[in-house]
Every structure is written in C-alpha cells, then in structure tokens.
Amino acid sequence: MQKQKFVSNSQESTRMFKSSFLEMFSKIHPVTPLVLFVPVVLFFLYKTIFVFHLAFLPIILLLAAGLVVWSLTEYIMHRFLFHYHPTSNFGKRVHFIFHGVHHDYPNDAKRLVMAPAVSIPLAFIYYFLFAAILGTEYVAPFFSAFVLGYLFYDMTHYAIHHFQFKNSFWMKIKKHHMVHHYMDHDNGYGVSSKFWDIIFRTDFKNQQVNNK
C-alpha cells in the first residue's frame, strides 16, 4: 500500500498554470456538469420517445445497459487513466493536472467535477463509439443513461467531499472513497459504487483496511 506524499486537509487550492487564462478554466463550479449535460440527457430521451418511437422494453434495457457501462467506464478510467504512474516529467505534469491535484487537495471545491475541456471531448468520443456499435436509434436511450451515470458520479464525488451524510447508504459510499484518499489510493477506484471494486478484487476488504 503506497502512501500519499502530501494531502491537504483544508479547502485550500493550488495554482496549476502560470497563465491566468488557463488557470481560470481549471476551476469548475460543481453545477457546471448539470448545466452542460442535463440538456443532452433530455435531448436523447426526446429522440428515443418522439423521433425513433422505440418500444418500452428496448428503452428500459438500453437505459439499464447505459448505466452499467458508465459504472464500468468510471472504474476503468479512475484505475487505469487517473492512477497511471508516469515516469517522465511531462507525464507527471499531465497526471497532476488530470488527477494528482485532486489527491493532493481533495477538498478543493472547484476541482471536484470534471472540467468541460475533458468531459465534452470524451462525450463526443463515447457517443460516436457507441453509435457505431448500436446504431443511431438504439444509441439514444443508451447514451442518455450513460451521461446520466456520469452526472451521478460527478455530483456524488462533490457531495462525498463536502456533505455530511446521515443515511447509511451514503455514509458507506463516502467511507469507501475516503479510505481511497487517506489510507490506500491503490485500491477503491469506484466512486459512485464499489461494485466493480468487488468484481475486480480492488475492494478494501481484500486489503484488510475496510473496517479500520
């Protein structure tokens, strides 16, 4: 288990870019993903029902599939992209911008949701990938659920770091992520759910820290 070299326990921030213009875009209000992507969800749901006239059962199945695929995507990106350990100085700099800054300053409220400079290009890539597999009609409900899963992830991530939960369900989710931050950042990659951590054996139970 690798320990984090530095973790700020306050809500302080750090400067990421010398350019004030670039620095401005590195700080994201937590409502931003909702403003950008709720219309996307509604648009594809509209097309599903009123343009493509899909039947009820295919809609339900594709919505469920979109949520499941997002949850797996969340896990894979967090584990293999955000926690990739580069060796070059350039790679380390890119890693810090993408995710290292969050581990060093986990309570920085303006760097808890994904920046549009990343989320928008990724949304286009995933849409065209899924459209190539599913076709124009079936991708509509699938992608709406996929994006909804992403929004749930981003909002959950913000809430975990800034809300005090009393509900046992949310307390377990928060504990899982806090252990990832403060005890073992080489496990516990699921944020909105630890389902894939259990499947791929990266849950903290396997590391004997879950109940500490």
pTM of the entire predicted model = 0.87
pLDDT tens profile 33-78: 999 999 999 999 999 999 999 999 999 999 999 999 999 999 999 9
Measured CA to CA, the distance from residue 24 to residue 44 in angstroms comes to: 31
Residue 92 has pLDDT above 80, yes or no: no
- Name the least confident of 18-27, 59-68, 104-113, 117-126: 18-27
* Mean pLDDT across the chain: 86
The residue whose two tokens read 């973790």 is 7
CB atoms near residue 139 (< 10 Å) = 25
CA separation, residue 90 to residues 25, 27, 86, 93, 97 (Å): 20, 21, 8, 5, 11
pLDDT at 2: 44
pLDDT at 206: 53
- Name the least confident of 4-18, 19-33, 91-105, 143-157: 4-18
How far apart, in Å, do the first and last CA atoms of the chain sit? 15
User: In degrees rounded to 5, what are phi and psi of residue 161?
Assistant: -85, -15
pLDDT at 84: 86
What's the pLDDT band for 5 if we cut at 50, 70, 90?
Answer: low
- DSSP secondary structure of 19-88: SHHHHHHT---TTHHHHHHHHHHHHHHHIIIIIS---HHHHHHHHHHHHHHHHHHHHHIIIIIIT----S
User: In degrees rounded to 5, what are phi and psi of residue 162?
Assistant: -130, -5
* Cα-Cα-Cα-Cα dihedral sign, residues 56, 59, 39, 145: positive
pLDDT at 64: 98
Q: Spell 94-130 as b/e; 16+ CB within 10 A means b.
A: ebbbbbbbbbebbbbbebbbbbbeebeeebeebbeeb
- Name the least confident of 32-36, 38-42, 109-113, 147-151: 109-113
Residue 194 has pLDDT above 50, yes or no: yes
